[in-house]
Amino acid sequence: MSAPATPDTAHHDPGLSRRTLGVPAITFMIIAASAPLTVVAGGVTTSFAVTESQGVPLGFLLIAVILTVFAVGYTAMSRHITNAGAFYAYIAQGLGRPLGVGASLVALVAYNAMQVGIYGLFGFQLSVFLEAKFGFASPWWVWILLCIVVVGVLGVNRVDLSAKVLGVLVALEFVVVIVFDIVAIGTAPEGVSTAAVNPAALFGPSLGIILVFGVAAFMGFEGAAIYGEEAKDPKRTVPRATYAAVAIIGVFYAFSAWAFSVGIGPSQIVEQSQASGPDLMFIFMTDRVGVIFADVMTLLFITSLFAALQAFHNAVARYFYSLGREGVLPAWFSRTSASGAPWAGSVAQTVIALVVVSGFAIVGDGLGAAERMLGETAFLYPVLTMFTWLTNTGAAALVLLMAVIAAAVIGFFRRDRRGLGVWTTVIAPAASGLALLWVFVMILANFQLMLSQAEPDATTFILPGLIFLAAIVGIVWALILRAAKQDIYRQIGHGTEPGAYGTELISVPEPR
């Protein structure tokens, strides 16, 4: 591996932009990653359909509570560690450098899987929409390739440009979903019922499944720390953005899921979700508001996916940057533009997306040709494979990382609580960590269900296996660095730029 960036290269490589992002900008990027319209249209209906429970709205609130408790220790740690590698740096300083490097590769797998997987749904939805409205039939992968270019261009520009684009798209999504909520409550064929917010509907046999399907809606909420080096005031901006995002997401999704059940009718929401899936929201609005508004919603559904693609792309680029800066990956990955954009990491993520999408497209086209010979179609191929496989893998990896982060918080403050109480440094991270670990185990136990498989096949085990493989490879690589390149090993998780981390950490003995 190459050595980390030196002061000489830093002269030509200014690093990430500083004091660029405020609380609203980071909050919008977090919410963009969760894709509000996509969650309400697709996630809510899927949860109702699969769990066959009316406890979905309260499930969102319960997840929000768990993540809020998790954020207590997470944000406390963020006030002492400012690193674009976020999870990687936190775990390296809380549990040791080998686990930190292992976590960094798991994070790369997670964010890349989420980002590339969403491309599958994006290409499918845009292709279907154009054909339905204009009779223009086109391969789903064509639109993905064009989108990759747009996402890549935004990725190599100043981060505040991405923030402004995502802010507009997220605001429009909220407006549309709020209109849907109002129409749904106004329709209420069975009256404005509270059946879906009855605790008995949540705390039953379906609790675990509700949380498994609901937690994916929050993926990306932890991303505030990734932008810490670019925040206007990291010690305040990151915690505020994190709490704001989880509160907004939790309350908004819970309310919209309840409104959905009221609009369709509590006794019909499960059956209708099973029959129509994500189309249920658009069918409902077409019948009650009109085709034009439903078409606008469909377009915003597509832009919602684009916003999530950009948010996860930005996260991957900054992970590559952080790992390249510290020598864990070749120093090339740490290169930034004059505007402070991590262009090398952005290009790397773009290449990964191109390669993976091309692979799925080649296989999909071959499958399509074979099925056409049988009079069938590969219509849902990018959704059933690329989107379903990769996003569920990414969500599982991020839940595991958050559980490990909770343990890292306890390890980090074990030697010096820095004036914080036991609730912040022990109880909150321990409680949330155990809850997240339980959710992760539930995800693994129900992975076949999440992939919509009648019977387990190779992907049922290979996809989650990638998470553990990445962790093992990272740990082994860290041990190799410890034996062969101790100068690089010592700075793992600490950054190399001035001000990248607090000087108060230097005097504290850390895990090896």
Encode pLDDT of 439-453 as tens digits.
Answer: 999 999 989 888 888
Dist. CA 403–CA 386, nearest whole Å: 26
- Asked if the model's pLDDT at residue 365 lies above 60, the reply is yes
Q: Report pTM.
A: 0.86
- Asked if the model's pLDDT at residue 458 lies above 60, the reply is yes
410 closest CA partner among 398, 396, 399, 424:
424
Q: What is the pLDDT of residue 471?
A: 96
Count the neighbouring beta carbons within 10 Å of the beta carbon of residue 1. Answer: 16
Residues in Cβ contact with 7 at an 8 Å cutoff, skipping those fewer than 6 apart: none
- Report residue 276's pLDDT band, with 50, 70 and 90 as the boundaries: confident
Q: What is the pLDDT of residue 469?
A: 97
Higher-confidence residue: 113 or 25?
A: 113
- Asked if the model's pLDDT at residue 482 lies above 50, the reply is yes
Q: What is the pLDDT of residue 50?
A: 86
28 closest CA partner among 140, 151, 172:
172
Question: What is the average per-residue pLDDT within 352-365?
Answer: 89
234 closest CA partner among 8, 508, 495, 490:
495
94 closest CA partner among 324, 437, 401:
401
| Cβ atoms 377, 387 nearer than 8 A | no
| Cβ atoms 364, 141 nearer than 8 A | yes
- The ranges assigned to domains in the chain are 7-494
Dist. CA 414–CA 402, nearest whole Å: 18
> Considering the domain 7-494 in this protein, what is its CATH number?
1.20.1740.10
Q: What is the pLDDT of residue 500?
A: 43
Q: Which of 83-92, 114-123, 390-399, 490-499 has the lowest mean pLDDT?
A: 490-499
Question: What is the average per-residue pLDDT within 64-87?
Answer: 86
Question: What is the average per-residue pLDDT within 246-253?
Answer: 91
The type of residue at 407 is A
| Cβ atoms 225, 404 nearer than 8 A | no
Distances from the Cα of 219 to the Cα of 36, 249, 395, 482, angstroms: 11, 10, 7, 33
- Asked if the model's pLDDT at residue 54 lies above 90, the reply is no
Dist. CA 454–CA 452, nearest whole Å: 7
Higher-confidence residue: 506 or 95?
A: 95
Q: Is 231 helix (H, G, I), strand (E, B) or coil?
A: strand
Q: Which of 253-257, 431-435, 501-505 has the lowest mean pLDDT?
A: 501-505
Backbone angles phi, psi at 319, to 5 degrees: -65, -45
- Report residue 2's pLDDT band, with 50, 70 and 90 as the boundaries: very low
Strand partners for 81: 501
Q: What is the pLDDT of residue 102?
A: 95
- Report residue 223's pLDDT band, with 50, 70 and 90 as the boundaries: confident
| Cβ atoms 475, 512 nearer than 8 A | no
Task: Label residue 58 exposed, middle or buried (CB < 10 Å: 0-12, 13-18, 19+).
Answer: buried
Q: Which of 193-207, 295-309, 351-365, 456-470 has the lowest mean pLDDT?
A: 193-207
